[in-house]
Amino acid sequence: MIKNIKERIIGASGSVSGVASILGSWQVCHNICLAIVAILSIIGITVVGMPLLFLTKLAVPFWTAAFILLLITYGLYIKKKCISKKLIIFNSGLIIAGMPFKQVQTFSPALRAAGGILVSISIYLFIKDKIKTRNRRKK
């Protein structure tokens, strides 16, 4: 029972790492903001400006927290082998794609492409394993 809870906590920390890395990306924050403005306008509330602009100031701390959590998750994977490789690849891709530092903004398209490729690879591996498991159960 305790082992199951520990595995869930470790898995959740990996997921938090991935989500925090995406929050570090300005483009995602911008799109979320636009979606909120659109939803509010549908129900009759007019908003001028960007209501979530304050999140751009928190992009670097969110990304840093996500990176630290990824390092912890990777350390646990090396030590205990209790975390999915696909999850680590997925989170690494999200963190690479969501890098918010001004010094790397000129490489932003390349970083998003590299992160997207890692995310795509992890999704492909996940689907491949699910299909393989399903085929074994049928036989």
Q: How far apart are CA 37 and CA 101, in angstroms?
A: 26
- Range in 26-30, 62-66, 68-72 the model is least confident about: 26-30
The pLDDT-based confidence of 24 (bands split at 50, 70, 90) is low
Q: Report residue 40 as tokens.
A: 């509010």
Cβ count near 119 (within 10 Å): 19
pTM: 0.61
Helix, strand, coil percentages in the chain from 3-state DSSP, rounded to 5: 85, 0, 15
Q: What is the mean pLDDT of residues 61-88?
A: 86
φ and ψ of 33, to 5 deg: -60, -45
Per-residue confidence (pLDDT) for residue 122, from 0 to 100:
92
84-130, pLDDT tens digit by residue?
888 889 889 988 888 877 787 788 888 889 989 999 999 999 999 98
What angle in degrees, to the nearest 10, is found between the helix axes of 2-23 and 59-80?
A: 150
pLDDT at 14 over 90: no
Q: How far apart are CA 135 and CA 121, in angstroms?
A: 21
pLDDT at 25 over 60: no
CA atoms within 13 A on the CB side of 7: 9
